[in-house]
Homo-oligomer: A and B are copies of this chain.
């Protein structure tokens, strides 16, 4: 018993005429008749009441017809879908992103890609940059939006946006009113920043910026999440250097200030070059078409 047999059965059930059904199957009547008999024999069930003048479905045949149609539809869909998956038109794509990308490039990227590939289920995973790197390497993510800049030979990357650091201080802080803020301005300040194990790119940028003014940074707190950093600044526990894109709608009591020669960094889309998910190249294509903004 096979799908071909089911197709023969459905053809006969729909035409109720051996000759016509055989023609529909592009074959002659005798082998077609034999196949129908063979089906009935292997199933052990009479599917048609027939003589040389009439062909009719038995109740069992009626039931089987509905089942066969469902099976054949599902079978054909499976064969079609696997091709769509293979060319990235269907399937799943696990996209990681660091939290601050949610405020900048992720919304537009997700919208664009979902419109271009509506049958690919986008699974979004918000993680800290170091975890993203690890998950990409392990294949637990197909692609990710994170900081660029580091040497990444095993990664394919695409620049999505450039961002810069920006200072946030509590309302009423001595720096809240100062015109020009440079690295020297940070001398003596209690800094709040994510640890190097979480966001090495930011941390390095902050360190280099301080060093460029001859300042040795004093880290008062080192929370993992940028939201937490902002919250601590709000409480007056220190100042912080955070991505510009997070400064747009700050909470009450927090003030953002531009920095002179603010460190800049790339936000990139990246994926392991070893990644085999065929949806990945298309994500790069869509992201590339959209252009850097």
Contact = CB atoms under 8 A, between A and B. Distances in A.
A103 B279 CA distance: 65
Q: DSSP class of A's interface residues: helix, strand, loop or mixed?
A: helix
A63 B81 contact: yes
A154 interface: no
B45 A82 contact: yes
Interface stretch (A16-24, A66-74, A107-115, A173-181): A66-74
A152 interface: no
Interface stretch (A1-9, A27-35, A126-134, A257-265): A1-9
Interface of A: 1-4, 6, 43-47, 49, 58-61, 63-64, 67-68, 70-71, 74-75, 77-79, 81-83, 85-86, 90-92, 276-279
A78 B68 contact: yes
Contact of A64 (B58, B63, B82): B82
Given A67-B78, A71-B75, A79-B43, A59 B276 contact: yes
Count identical subunits in the complex. Answer: 2
Given A63-B91, A276-B49, A276-B58, A43 B74 contact: no
Contact of A3 (B2, B60, B81, B82): B2
Contacts of A3: 1-3, 75
